[in-house]
Structures are given as structure tokens and as C-alpha cells.
With several copies, the nearest count.
Chain A
């Protein structure tokens, strides 16, 4: 089992969700995050004082998947989020040791989906 963590542009979430759903991945958890990457940010001015903002709004997606779904998940996220421009985001894949569905107390691969 793997935990796929992706940071994408907020505006791309709906598309990513759609492509994931087409690949039968419908469970996920989302948090809003601020990202610092190659994208440089922008300069605001507040009351005459410039203010550099280099923490940009991102959406963090966390998806636990069984091994055979890692590839499709990564591909789907890439398809949904890619524009070719800086700031498109990143995907991290981590080993997932165990997974428990609280409702049924099922564990392991059965609990993921």
C-alpha cells in the first residue's frame, strides 16, 4: 500500500478529481496548504509598503492506494494538474504500513477502497 501526496494548483482540483474518478479512485483527503517552489510569488503593496508573498496557495491531496493503483493515481493527478507552467506541483509517494477502516475495523488492502 502506498500513500500518494500531491501538491497542485487549487484551480485544478476539480479536474484532478474527475480524472481520478475515471480511474476508479474516489477516496481521498484534501487540505489547503501554502507552497514555496520555483514559482516566485508576487509583490503586494499594503499602505505603501511592498510585501513579498512567496507562499502561494496550493491544495494538498492525500490518497491511500493499493500498489496496483499507484501508477494510475500518479498518472491521473498529472493529467489533471499539468499545464506545463511553473507551479504545477509535485507528487510524493510514501510506503504505507497499515490502513484501518474505523467503521468496520477492517485492516490492510481491504480497508483502503
Chain B
């Protein structure tokens, strides 16, 4: 009963508003203090695991881009988490979980307020406290903007990006989230997204796509007749990033059980691990076959692809299905990266392929592999479309407006010199001889 992310908080707010306890919640066996404590402890562990994903993103994005833009990327990833936490406290949380609302948009008021019972086991049937709930969700919020950060790297204006992130994380992400996890209209329709293949990853991915289209490709990436490789500057950094993301995913998915339920959490750990492993194997064989030599950066993307793919159904598919979901995600990501390059959509770290493409795949996969007969492919597809339409358009408008007003792109000269010196006046690797003719 804890498996649906929305129920508890939505119910709780409803209760507060309506002033009575629905029978469903007057559970026969009350949760013991110890159970409340272990549930809440697990949710806090999951919270710090999701936190570390932000370091994972920072490392991965920095590693797959050039050394001359590293300070810039690290700066963005450090400030995004701050922006994410604060905007989510100010308005995001109450936009995403507005309690009883029209199903499209609602708002439960500014800032945090645990109320009288928020910090007791009454808040969520002994699963977690109000503050735990807030923080766990807040850690997710910043992720969406971080996904964009990788795709627009090496050419976006810092200020414009920060403004965009603030709006996207503070308003658009939580409104979109409310449709499902807040108990909105898609939740009513039976759409399922366990931990956010769509609600987090695709939401970030659609924005990434919109922004990249508005921004254009990096200087020198595409010449008249061909695609040029712009190499990332540190594979160890990229690898550290992916392992940290994988680690964080245990909290991302494991925490989305919204309690420490041994059965569900352990199942989720296994499906998550196995999908990541299968993603690696899928990407490895694909890149080895297609590119002749096995490409580490693709295999790293493969692990993430598997993880994004399993996220929507981690608690409702069997480990065997997780293998298939992960394998396909791993294969998909390699072809997707190549396809976007052919379309001249320049995404330095493969964020759109990993988060958008595999996020869609994962969401649809629930309709195929779920052990819960109520899940339907059609409804899953509907959800994908609703989110795609809203997020892409919203991101396009916001970023487009910023483009008109503040501009979104650094000058060509700034881009060639590197954002580190131009935007931050400092270098990332003081003293190191770096040979860059790009």
C-alpha cells in the first residue's frame, strides 16, 4: 500500500482539509514506533543517496566535456542543487503535492509547514515524517535541471541557464509531477511511473531537447559534410559519475517504495541492479559491433540507460523482465546517440538519449512487463504524450523567452576560449598543459 508514491501525502492533505480520517487509513494494526523509525530512517538513507546523484551528474558531465569548460559545469551543478532545494521549499513541494486539487494544478501555500502531526507517525501511516517527505522529494527536483545542464554544456550562458533552471525546477517540474504523484488526472487514469522514468527523467529530457534546439550545436561539432568528435577530457571522472549515479539510484528507486518494506525494497534493489548490468552488456555489444571498438563512454551511458529504463516499473516487473528492459535500453542508447548526431542535435553527454529516450522506453515497458494487470500500454503511452507535450512546450517557451531577452549563448570567441576563463575567470586544472585546438 506504500507503493504508490502519491497516496499518502495526498490523502493526508485531504484529511487535513476534510477534517476526518477515511476508513482506509484507520489501519487495524497501528504501525509500531520501531517500524515508524526504521521506515523513516530508510527514507533518509534514500535521501542522502539521491543527494549524491548530484555529484554523479557533476562528474559525468564534467568528464564528457572539454577541460576548458569544467569550472563552468561544476559551478552549474553545485548551484543547481542549491536552487533546487530552496525553490522546492518555497513553492515546489506545495505545487507538486497540493492535496485535494483539480488534477492539473494546485498549490498548498508557500514554504514548509509540518503542522501539528507532520512529524509524527500520523503523517504518513508511519512511513516517514513531513520533513523526510519534503527532503526526499526535493532531492529529486533538482535532477531535472541537472539533466538539462549536461545537454547544453560548453556553450550556454551561465546566467540564462540559472534563470531557466530556477523556473523549471520551481514551477514546471512540480506542476508536471502533481499530475501523477500529487494525485492529479494522470494518476486517476491509472498511469504508472514508480520512481520517475517519466516524471523525473523525461521531464528533464524534454527540456534538454527544447533547449538544445534553441541553442544550436557547439562550434565545430558539425561541418558541412560531417560530424566531428569533441572529446571529453576525463574518463575517470565520467566513470566516477556513473558509479555514483548508480549508487544514488538505490535511493532513487529504493526510496520510492516510500517505506522500508523488505519485500518491495529488496525487489527494487534487484531489478535496479540487474537492469543496469544488462544496460552495460547491451551497450557493450552494440558499440563493439557497430563501432568495431568498445567505447567506454557508451558503456557508461548504457548503465544509465538501464537505470532510467527500469525506474518506471522497478517494483512491478520481475528480475527477468529487468534484464530485457535493461538490455533494450542499453542498445537503444547507442543508436539514439548516433541518431541525434545525424539530426545535428548536439548533446555533449548524451543526456537526451539516456534520460528522454530511455525514460520513454521505461514508461512504456511498464505496459508490457508489469506483473500488475491494471497497468496498460495505452495509458502509459498517453502519459508519455501528456508529459512530452507539456514539458517540451513549457521549456521551449521559457528558454525561448530567455533567448529573446537575455540571450542564451556565449559568443563564439568565448566558446573557443572556454567558459572557465570567460565566465568565471579561472581555470580548472591550474598548471596542467592542455593542448586544445578546438
Contact = CB atoms under 8 A, between A and B. Distances in A.
Interface of A: 10-11, 13-14, 32, 34, 42-51, 57, 59
Interface of B: 227-229, 231-232, 287, 290-293, 295, 297-298, 334, 337-338, 341, 350, 416, 421, 425-427, 433, 435-438
Contacts of B421: 42, 44
Contacts of A45: 229, 291-293, 295, 425-426
B292 A10 contact: no
A34 B433 CA distance: 10
Looking at A32, A44, A47, A57, which has the most chain B CB atoms within 10 Å of its CB? A47
Given A10-B437, A45-B293, A47-B298, 18 more contacts: A10-B435, A11-B416, A13-B437, A34-B435, A43-B425, A44-B229, A44-B425, A45-B425, A46-B229, A46-B231, A46-B295, A47-B229, A47-B341, A47-B350, A48-B287, A48-B337, A49-B341, A50-B229
A50 B438 CA distance: 16
B422 to A, nearest CB: 9
A46 B438 contact: no
Main secondary structure of the interface of A (DSSP, over half): strand
Nearest to B297: A47
Contacts, number: 58
Nearest to B347: A47
A48 B437 contact: no
B355 to A, nearest CB: 16
Nearest to B336: A48
Contacts of A42: 421, 425
Looking at A10, A34, A49, A57, which has the most chain B CB atoms within 10 Å of its CB? A49
Contacts of B433: 32
Contact of A51 (B231, B334, B341): B231
B224 to A, nearest CB: 13
Looking at A46, A50, A59, which has the most chain B CB atoms within 10 Å of its CB? A46
Main secondary structure of the interface of B (DSSP, over half): loop
Nearest to B433: A32
Given A49-B229, A51-B231, A11 B438 contact: yes
A46 B436 contact: no
A46 B426 contact: yes
Given A11-B416, A42-B421, A43-B425, A48 B341 contact: yes
A16 to B, nearest CB: 10
Contacts of A44: 229, 421, 425-427
A80 B334 CA distance: 37
A48 B231 contact: no
Given A44-B426, A45-B426, A51 B228 contact: yes
Contact of B228 (A34, A49, A57): A49
A26 to B, nearest CB: 17
A49 B297 CA distance: 12
A10 B416 CA distance: 9
The 3 residue pairs across chains A and B that have the minimum distance between CB atoms? A51-B229, A46-B229, A49-B229
Contact of B295 (A10, A11, A32, A48): A48
Contacts of B337: 47-48
Nearest to A16: B437
Contact of B291 (A32, A48, A57, A59): A48
A7 to B, nearest CB: 13
A95 B228 CA distance: 38
Looking at B228, B297, B416, which has the most chain A CB atoms within 10 Å of its CB? B228
B436 A49 contact: no
A14 B435 CA distance: 13
Given A10-B437, A13-B437, A48 B334 contact: yes
Contacts of B437: 10-11, 13-14, 59
Contacts of A43: 425
B227 A49 contact: yes
B297 A46 contact: yes
A51 B295 CA distance: 13
Nearest to B292: A45
Contacts of B295: 45-48
Contacts of A51: 228-229, 231
A10 B298 CA distance: 29
Looking at A10, A43, A45, A50, which has the most chain B CB atoms within 10 Å of its CB? A45
B370 to A, nearest CB: 32
A48 B425 contact: no
Contacts of A57: 436
Contacts of A10: 435-437
Looking at A45, A48, A49, which has the most chain B CB atoms within 10 Å of its CB? A48
Looking at B229, B298, B416, which has the most chain A CB atoms within 10 Å of its CB? B229
A17 to B, nearest CB: 9
A57 to B, nearest CB: 8
B428 to A, nearest CB: 12
Nearest to A44: B425
Contacts of B297: 46-47
Looking at B290, B338, B416, B437, which has the most chain A CB atoms within 10 Å of its CB? B437
A50 B421 CA distance: 13
